Structure formats: structure tokens, C-alpha cells
Structure 1
């Protein structure tokens, strides 16, 4: 293995500066972002879609260096470990604590039905971010924080100034996804009502033959509305991808307030909602009856999403900075 003439490897096989990192030039210590899975998109042989979202959006407000570790089955100081479903071992984080490792958190992905083991939440990490909002889980302790799903890798972030006006877009609405959950009801309503929607619902989840992410993104950018029905959970990547594309999402209301991920202390949001998909034709008719009101709604949705992203980044920065300061002192 070639390591370079100036790089000494520790016993773990990692360079010494990763095991005992010095403060960065701006005076801030680096965070080690460790993915405990193949973080390539699923259609590329990996296991998740959201590396870009986590690395380039969620961590973008940290104001400290971030070392990205892919498929790294390691334990490190000053780290945030991203997990899909379960830790590498049941006592992974407890072992980290017992081994003297400090200042580490976890980002828990994949618990969309709230059926995974979460006993490790109280067994080690200084803080935990998790996808899929559940009020009861969030109340397990002050260290558990909800983090939205975000967009799939390759979708990218789009400056709001580049987003086309709703009244210039090619498609009235779209749905691109599988027919899980009650989505067939929605598709039947669209077909019977004659709504001019772009529909692609003939592929299963993560089918490698599905639309490429760039084609998919462009379809959302050219759609006034994006239909965002429930799947295994009320939350979906599709919702956030629509928001990023400036396409007004239409979502189902969440009957269980314990799972209301859009209403968790953020104030009112402008996202149109239906209780049943039979309401969709009338809702779209009302929203498009006035071009001026439609453009105002689009601007409100785009503004809300920009504010929401800044809020996510501020929350993550505050939690990570607080953990660094507890261990390394102010300004770490």
C-alpha cells in the first residue's frame, strides 16, 4: 500500500492525523463523517440515495472541515456515523464509549416503519439525528433530533433564482414512483379526471431501469405540481425533490399527529394538502384559477423550503458545535 513519504499509518491503518486530529487552520477541529454502508446510489450498486444531501446540504453550515469516510468500519473521535437500519454490532456505540472514544454522534436512516431496534440510542452517542419523524421517539431524550430525508444523490441543489415560474412550466403535475401504499387510488383519480400529469409508475422502488436522476429532476423543474402520496411512511424523498425544483408538492394529510413531520414547531407551511385523493381535481382547479395566486403560492413554497434548509443547517451546527465544545472547549 502506498501512503506517501510524509504519512505515517497508525495501528488501525489510518494516518496518525486522522486518529489525533489537530485543529484546522481556522481554529475549528474537523468532523469525521463516516458512512457505515456503501454510500453510492442504489442503482449504482450502493445502499442509499442521500449522500449528497447529508454531505453537501445538511453539513454545509458546520463551518468546520469535514472528512468523508465511505464504507469505513471504524470508530473515531469527533465523528458522525451514518447508519442504515442497524449499527455494525448491537454494542457498537457502547463499545466506542468504553474504548475512550469521545465526541461522536449518529445519523440513523431507514427506520420508516419505526420497527427497528433503538435500544442503542441511550447506549453511547452524544447526539442522534434520525430520519422519519415520530414524536414519541423524539421524546426519548434531548439527544434525539429529527432530520428530513432530503434529495437523492445527483439531484443537486438549484438556486431559487434559476427556477422557472409556475405559469411557464410544461406539465401541470407529475407522479414518478412505484405504486406502493394507496398510490393506485391517486393514479385512478388522475386518469379519470383527465389532469395533464406526467406519470411514470411502472417501475419498482430503486429500479435501475427507472428514470435517470437528471431526467427526473428536469421533469420536476418543468412541473407546476408534484404529487407526493404516502408510501411506507408519510415522508418521501419526492417531497423534498419537488421543493428543490420549485414544483409545488401536493401531499396527503397525516392522520396521526405523532407522525406529522411538516408540523413540528416550524410554524405554518404553504404546502397544499388533501385528506383524500378524490379532492385533487378540485384543489388543482382552485390553485390554478388565478395565475397571480398560483405564482404567490410557488414563491411561498420556495421561500419556505429555503428557510427550512437553513434551519436544518443551523440545528446541525448547533448540536455538533456543542458536542465539540463539551469535549475540547470553546471554539473547538
Structure 2
């Protein structure tokens, strides 16, 4: 059965990861801006929503005998109403909350990664700059003064960052998405071996996927979405470094420097494992979603 993604212009414009959504998660499904009655009929409609889920739209889609897959984005705190989930055939959403994905909802809920920003990728792995030829040991470009960050991670990261010295290139911004343009941001990240990914409003950040797509090795704290087999653990453990606390970052970066001095290929090998894992993961999540949609 044919699948079509629909969303209002505001949400499609605000979704920074729209290429990833269309081409990785939903296998190249076409996208329609808004909903036109009588055009979408007797097919699978993927309803993309960033804000309040429209029960009226779901009702209209159902009247046209469509199967409805809700792609629910933007619920970083897990507080948005899920009342309309039960009126859909399948729900796919970002941001992993165990109580949502392990609960017995009236409809199956599948987790999907936020993905990388459009313009960051897609990147062919053969053209990614080797880690051993990158300019900076690690870098962070983004908003540090986010008082709402999960478990205060941004504050903790900001406090320890100066102790990393020359091992961390830091470019703080004054707010969300207020940094360098996508081109310069991509170049800078591809000039870095590691990318610390402190949590934003939620543990899951787009930065982690930007890093993976650019062959930059993420560094994270341990979170459910990284570990769970229903999320990034789908194909096995993530191969990038997981710290217990951001206080460990200076020591970790120093140890990497010492390790590389005795084993020059260490960085390239670590990078290669991350690239291979991310390539396999994108294939696996695309297949998982496609197979589930085909059973509707």
C-alpha cells in the first residue's frame, strides 16, 4: 500500500530533520503540505505533528478509508496529550520514555530517532574525513545556558568544559539554533574527532545524530534511549563513549591523547566502528518501520 507523509507548513518548516524523516524513516515516501480531501484515499497516511494532535484531521483521514500512522515529534518532556493515539493504526514518535513504550497503549507505539539536520547529510561514508586528520580533539557548538536541560546536564558540562583546555574547542551560543549556519557547523564538526552531546530539554539531542552522520564520534552520558533494544540498542550496544558524569570528560580526552600517541590507528578504528554501526542502524530502523507499516 502506498504511503504519503502529510503535515502543515509550519511543522514541515520547523522540522529540521525532514530529509531524514522522509528518506530514512519512511523510505522515500512523498510529502504533501496540508491535507486535501478526496486526494488521499485508501492508502497509508503518515501524519506528522509537532504540536497538538488534530482529532478532526484523524477523523477526516479515517472517513477516506486511510490507514493512519501518527509521527509524533517534539514531545521532549513526554507531557503532550496522547489521547488521540488510540484513534491511529500505529504511532511512531521521538524521545524515549520507558513509561510510554512499555505501557499497554490501545495502539502500538514505536520509537524513532530524531535524526540529523537537513543539510548535515546524507553523507557517503567513503568521503568522511578520517579522525586522525581532524583539526580538533573535540568540539561543542551550542547553547550552554539552558536552565531546562535534562538533569542539569548543560550546566554540568559548562562547568567542566574549561578544564578540558585545548582538547575541547568550545563555541557557546545565546540560545537554541542561534549558532553558525548549517554549512559552517558541518565543517566544524567534521573537523572534530569527538562531539560531547550533553542533554538538552531531553536526553536525546539532534547533535548526536549530526555527529554520527559526519563521522564525528559522540560522547554521551548513559540514557535509556541509547541502551534500550526498543531504541538505539536495536542492533546492539552503541560503540561511542558513554561517561558516568561530564566531570569525567577532561580525563577521558587526556587518556585518548595518550592512547593515540602509542597506537596511532586507535582513533580511526574507533571512528570506523561508529560509522559502520550508524550505517547499519539506519538500515535496521528503516526496515523495522517499513515492515510494521506493511502489516497495517
TM-score range, shorter chain: 0.7 to 0.9
1:70 aligns with 2:33: yes
Alignment partner, residue 113 of structure 1: 77
For the 8 Å contact 1:229–1:252, the answer to whether it is kept is yes
Alignment partner, residue 51 of structure 1: 18
Q: Deviations over 1:252-288 (max 9, x none)?
A: 123xxxxx11112222221101121110011122233
Cα shift at 1:72? 3.9
Alignment partner, residue 38 of structure 1: 10
Unaligned runs of 5+ in 2: none
CA shift in 2, pair 1:90/1:321, >3 Å = closer
For the 8 Å contact 1:30–1:67, the answer to whether it is kept is no
Q: How many residues align?
A: 276
Q: Report the Cα distance in structure 2 between the residues aligned to 1:194 and 1:313, rounded to whole angstroms.
A: 40
Cα shift at 1:146? 0.2
Larger Rg: 1
Cα shift at 1:294? 2.2
In structure 2, which of residues 121, 129, 133 is the aligned counterpart of residue 168 of structure 1? Answer: 133
Alignment partner, residue 94 of structure 2: 131
Alignment partner, residue 294 of structure 1: 267
Unaligned runs of 5+ in 1: 1-28, 41-45, 255-259, 324-332
In structure 2, which of residues 110, 116, 128 is the aligned counterpart of residue 151 of structure 1? Answer: 116
Q: CA RMSD in A?
A: 2.0
Cα shift at 1:94? 4.2
For the 8 Å contact 2:189–2:216, the answer to whether it is kept is yes
1:85-234 equivalences in 2 (<5 Å): 85-87=51-53, 89-97=54-62, 99-123=63-87, 125-139=88-102, 140-141=104-105, 143-179=108-144, 180=146, 181=149, 182-207=153-178, 210-234=179-203
**Secondary structure of the structure 1 residue equivalent to 2:173:** coil
Q: Report the Cα distance in structure 2 between the residues aligned to 1:51 and 1:137, rounded to whole angstroms.
A: 24
Q: Report the Cα distance in structure 2 between the residues aligned to 1:311 and 1:131, rounded to whole angstroms.
A: 16
Q: Report the Cα distance in structure 2 between the residues aligned to 1:72 and 1:280, rounded to whole angstroms.
A: 48
Q: Report the Cα distance in structure 2 between the residues aligned to 1:36 and 1:69, rounded to whole angstroms.
A: 9
For the 8 Å contact 2:164–2:253, the answer to whether it is kept is no
Instruction: Compute the TM-score of the two structures, normalised by the length of structure 1.
Output: 0.77
CA shift in 2, pair 1:39/1:94, >3 Å = closer
Q: Report the Cα distance in structure 2 between the residues aligned to 1:317 and 1:154, rounded to whole angstroms.
A: 24
**Secondary structure of the structure 2 residue equivalent to 1:112:** coil
Instruction: Compute the TM-score of the two structures, normalised by the length of structure 2.
Output: 0.86
CA shift in 2, pair 1:74/1:263, >3 Å = farther
Q: Report the Cα distance in structure 2 between the residues aligned to 1:109 and 1:178, rounded to whole angstroms.
A: 21
